[in-house]
Chains A and B, each alone.
Chain A
């Protein structure tokens, strides 16, 4: 009787931890679905982006970061790629500051022609 009880508790604990790790997993995925989103918009002949947490705009990028002057992204795709990289960084709790090598990696043409 005692042994059965021990086994029962053991099974309960093991399944409990299993559920716990599952619920941890689902917590992770809801977090990545956190309402951090980007939108691209037209600036002159090019594109910029903005990043918002739900309704709160955090970043408005009318021009390509790092570059001198006021040059918008050539295509909406470039702007979107860059915005998504910033979101990835924010979700990892990293600084949203983009580096030269990151923009090269994203193959933003303004950084690869040089």
Chain B
């Protein structure tokens, strides 16, 4: 609104001086200057979209979303933020204590958050840290004992963390591991029947974790899996291209849960995507929702606690923190809000 007001003010200035100079041709040059300004803003956004920035790690505990590390196009980051869903404000928290990195995983087990693995610009990483929200402190936990990697996925369920797939610098991976916070130890899981991949997506509905999407050797994967933590077994669900009108297949997407439905949003498939698909676990079917209304990008963050979900795409709004949007899947689309 402010910007529009300024623009109006400026247009008035321009009108006045144009009248004073009584030159129609000046009017023409003024209006083309205005267009240049708008175009500049737009270019700014597209430059940002084109940068090879890749994702921050994120997790949600209660009504607070946490997001940290990442790559801003110049530097690998250690900074760490919290977003209060109720108050709709941010706070900068204690820096991540490991080396600056991107393509790390974030997950929560009970009241603790975890960030680990990733890429520091030279190497894939295997170190993990836990974050205590009540004291704002980080603690190093047992490092991942297998191949260091980036662009893996992880989720916390039933008091354990699960971590798998990803890219180890030479190959994509298909192994899955379990982290037990009570013994601070890792153990390998067997039985994932899907292919190796990187940049896959996961969401958890109730007592079941779902995983799918991702890419390997340039091929986007179309399989979709459910993980039951009670039996630690995987079940294959219908493919993500089962129906002709499905266009769910992608990588670097967001996965989140809202009102016991799963969502896969944004990401990339050739180019970046704005589309959002809703998964109904009772029927194993997908439905397309209104596209994310901001500029598409592949490295977004999402905070969701099954009651509310917020998607942020970084600095595409007029202000850096201005562009986090709440996703309301059952409201009709309104481009005025």
What residues of chain B lie closer than 8 Å to A20, measured between beta carbons? 14, 17, 30, 33
Min Cβ gap A19→B in Å is 4
Chain A 14-33 interface residues, beta-carbon cutoff 8 Å to B: 15-17, 19-20, 23, 26-27, 30-31
Q: A20 to B13, alpha carbons, bound, how many Å?
A: 8
The reply to whether the CB of B217 lies closer than 8 angstroms to some CB of chain A is no
Q: Which of B14, B90, B322 has the largest count of A CB atoms less than 10 A from its CB?
A: B90
- Given A53-B319, A65-B93, A66-B95, CB of A27 within 8 Å of CB of B79: no
Beta-carbon contact of A19 and B13 below 8 Å:
yes
Q: A31 to B158, alpha carbons, bound, how many Å?
A: 50
Q: Mark A57-93, 1 if CB is under 8 A from B, else 0.
A: 1111111011111100000000000000000001001
Q: A67 to B315, alpha carbons, bound, how many Å?
A: 25
The reply to whether the CB of B269 lies closer than 8 angstroms to some CB of chain A is no
What residues of chain A lie closer than 8 Å to B17, measured between beta carbons? 15-16, 19-20, 23
The reply to whether the CB of B218 lies closer than 8 angstroms to some CB of chain A is no
Q: A31 to B318, alpha carbons, bound, how many Å?
A: 12
Q: Which of B114-122, B130-138, B227-235, B287-295 contacts A (4 or more CB under 8 A)?
A: B130-138
Beta-carbon contact of A58 and B90 below 8 Å:
yes
Residues of A within 8 A of B (CB): 9, 12-13, 15-17, 19-20, 23, 26-27, 30-31, 34-35, 50, 53, 56-63, 65-70, 90, 93-100
Q: A23-B14, A59-B89, A59-B321 are in contact. List 15 more A-B contacts (CB 8 A).
A: A9-B23, A12-B22, A13-B26, A19-B17, A20-B30, A34-B2, A50-B89, A59-B91, A59-B92, A60-B89, A90-B319, A93-B315, A97-B79, A97-B81, A100-B95
Q: Could you list 29 A-B pairs, sorted by A, with CB under 8 Å?
A: A12-B23, A13-B23, A15-B21, A20-B30, A27-B9, A27-B10, A30-B6, A30-B9, A53-B319, A53-B322, A56-B88, A59-B92, A60-B91, A61-B91, A61-B92, A62-B91, A63-B91, A65-B91, A66-B94, A66-B95, A68-B94, A69-B94, A69-B137, A90-B319, A90-B320, A95-B72, A95-B315, A96-B320, A100-B95
